[in-house]
Chain A
Amino acid sequence: MARPNRLSLTTVALASAVLVIVALALVFFVAPNDANQGFSQRIFYFHVSIAFTAYGCFAAGAWKALRYLWKHDPRADLESYVAIHQGVIFGTLVLLTGSIWAKISWGHWWLWGEDELVLFLVLYLFYCAYFMLRFSVDPGPQRANFSAVYALFGVVLIPVSFLAIRIARSFVHPEVFTLHGPNFGGWILVTYCVAQAALLVFAHALYRIELSGKRLDLRIRELRIA
């Protein structure tokens, strides 16, 4: 029995469609060209937004995990899993868009000097292992416990890795990149905010779709057993 949601799925999906279209329009037609990097810099609006959306998904996954362990909310396990799944999907996009940007701007498909990209790589490995863990255990309370605990580890790992990569700079790569720090004024800020909002809503829509699909799956299986 579904909890009554504040907004129906249709509303969310429509909102995300509208926002994404507006964002695309702003990114490609309205925002001014970057002085140094030209047109290619536009991918940045998406790259950064997707990155924060991914972090948001992982944080949501950890929050649901906490609810599962602490409040014994049985629905929270699936919600945590779907959130993290979304996070990994968006994480893949971060790595892809980051890589494309690196190739266009610097001529290399991968840049170890790009902190945020490296951070994502570490987290990506971590959350991929989440899936390996989950699929290596039969469904049940033990799997839910393991997943929840591991999700909590992930969320602690995010700031710790960030710090680690920062301090690793002094012995790993001396190069410093002047990246996504265009002057955040005027239309650039607006475009970024719209892109970010669009992606967050889009992610939420995907989350709701996947969640309802998985819940249906589960319900069917339960009916079959009973």
Chain B
Amino acid sequence: MIRARKLGKRFGEKRVLRDLDLDVARGAFTVVTGPNGSGKTTLLRLCAGLALPSEGELEVDVPRGAIGYLAHEPLVYRELTSLENLDLYGRLYRVPERRERIGMLLERFGLWDVRHDRVVSYSRGMTQRLALCRVLLHEPELLVLDEPYTALDTAGAELLDAQLAELRNERTVLVSTHDPDRVASLATARLALA
């Protein structure tokens, strides 16, 4: 599903990724680890299609609409409500039965009661949950998650655990995390960046 050969990425004078080979098979659950600044976010951005490689080649066999990317930032409008945000993304991703799906996700992640509140009033943890809803909304084939456990409280983290376990069988997942033990049971492959 993802194939990278001698992948490199440079930002001006700074080289962030160098000579990276990567193979992610369909249905795999790949965990990416590495210290800060090792290029995890850059790698994930490349796989999601938000950046182009500076060197080498990268092939992602999935169309844009079938990728779900969770970034460091939640990628939601703070002045809109969670319902409005998800409705927008639902329309853009042409999600069938949009309203039902949004309702289900909000409920699953415990945001149903605050769905009419603007995101600016949410805590960081709630915003992260909303970001997860956004990522899962269109049932993507490939999930690219950049440190998804950030800011989640215990309850939220457990929700995510359950969700990932469920997805693991049906989707391809590429996750970067500072806490590899948490997802160790699900992982089928590991990549450690220096």
- Neighbour of A138 across the interface among B12, B15, B52, CB < 8 A: B12
Whether the pair B11, A225 counts as a contact (CB closer than 8 A) is no
Whether the pair A139, B52 counts as a contact (CB closer than 8 A) is no
Whether the pair B11, A138 counts as a contact (CB closer than 8 A) is yes
Residue of B with least CB distance to A139: B12
A to B CB contacts below 8 Å, 14 in the list: A138-B11, A138-B12, A139-B12, A140-B10, A140-B11, A140-B12, A141-B52, A221-B13, A224-B13, A225-B10, A225-B13, A225-B14, A225-B15, A226-B15
* Bound-complex Cα distance A138 to B14 (A): 11
Query: Chain B interface secondary structure, helix, strand, loop or mixed?
Result: strand
* Bound-complex Cα distance A122 to B15 (A): 40
Please name all residues of chain A whose beta carbon is closer than 8 Å to the beta carbon of B52 when the two chains form the complex. 141
Which 10 interchain pairs have the tightest Cβ spacing? A139-B12, A138-B12, A225-B15, A141-B52, A225-B13, A140-B12, A140-B11, A221-B13, A225-B10, A138-B11
Interface residues of B toward A: which range?
under 10
Name the distance in Å between B184's Cβ and chain A's nearest Cβ.
36
* Bound-complex Cα distance A93 to B52 (A): 40
Name the distance in Å between A97's Cβ and chain B's nearest Cβ.
38
Contact string against B for A residues 137-157, beta-carbon threshold 8 Å, 1 for contact and 0 otherwise: 011110000000000000000
Query: Which B residues fall within an 8 A CB radius of A?
Result: 10-15, 52
Please name all residues of chain B whose beta carbon is closer than 8 Å to the beta carbon of A139 when the two chains form the complex. 12
Residue of B with least CB distance to A221: B13
Query: Which A residues fall within an 8 A CB radius of B?
Result: 138-141, 221, 224-226
Please name all residues of chain A whose beta carbon is closer than 8 Å to the beta carbon of B14 when the two chains form the complex. 225
Please name all residues of chain B whose beta carbon is closer than 8 Å to the beta carbon of A224 when the two chains form the complex. 13
Residue of A with least CB distance to B51: A141
* Bound-complex Cα distance A194 to B91 (A): 62
Residue of A with least CB distance to B10: A225
Please name all residues of chain A whose beta carbon is closer than 8 Å to the beta carbon of B12 when the two chains form the complex. 138-140
Residue of A with least CB distance to B14: A225
Residue of A with least CB distance to B13: A225
* Bound-complex Cα distance A225 to B11 (A): 11
Please name all residues of chain A whose beta carbon is closer than 8 Å to the beta carbon of B10 when the two chains form the complex. 140, 225
11 extra A-B contacts, CB within 8 A, seeds A225-B10, A225-B14, A226-B15 = A138-B11, A138-B12, A139-B12, A140-B10, A140-B11, A140-B12, A141-B52, A221-B13, A224-B13, A225-B13, A225-B15
Name the distance in Å between A60's Cβ and chain B's nearest Cβ.
26
Residue of B with least CB distance to A143: B12
Please name all residues of chain B whose beta carbon is closer than 8 Å to the beta carbon of A140 when the two chains form the complex. 10-12
Name the distance in Å between A221's Cβ and chain B's nearest Cβ.
7
* Bound-complex Cα distance A221 to B14 (A): 11
Please name all residues of chain A whose beta carbon is closer than 8 Å to the beta carbon of B15 when the two chains form the complex. 225-226
Please name all residues of chain B whose beta carbon is closer than 8 Å to the beta carbon of A226 when the two chains form the complex. 15
Name the distance in Å between A81's Cβ and chain B's nearest Cβ.
16
* Bound-complex Cα distance A130 to B71 (A): 32
Name the distance in Å between B57's Cβ and chain A's nearest Cβ.
13
Residue of A with least CB distance to B53: A141
* Bound-complex Cα distance A139 to B13 (A): 9
Residue of A with least CB distance to B52: A141
Name the distance in Å between A146's Cβ and chain B's nearest Cβ.
15
* Bound-complex Cα distance A225 to B15 (A): 7
Please name all residues of chain B whose beta carbon is closer than 8 Å to the beta carbon of A138 when the two chains form the complex. 11-12
* Bound-complex Cα distance A141 to B9 (A): 11
* Bound-complex Cα distance A225 to B55 (A): 13
Please name all residues of chain A whose beta carbon is closer than 8 Å to the beta carbon of B11 when the two chains form the complex. 138, 140
* Bound-complex Cα distance A51 to B12 (A): 35
Name the distance in Å between A3's Cβ and chain B's nearest Cβ.
20
* Bound-complex Cα distance A101 to B176 (A): 67
* Bound-complex Cα distance A186 to B71 (A): 70
* Bound-complex Cα distance A140 to B15 (A): 12
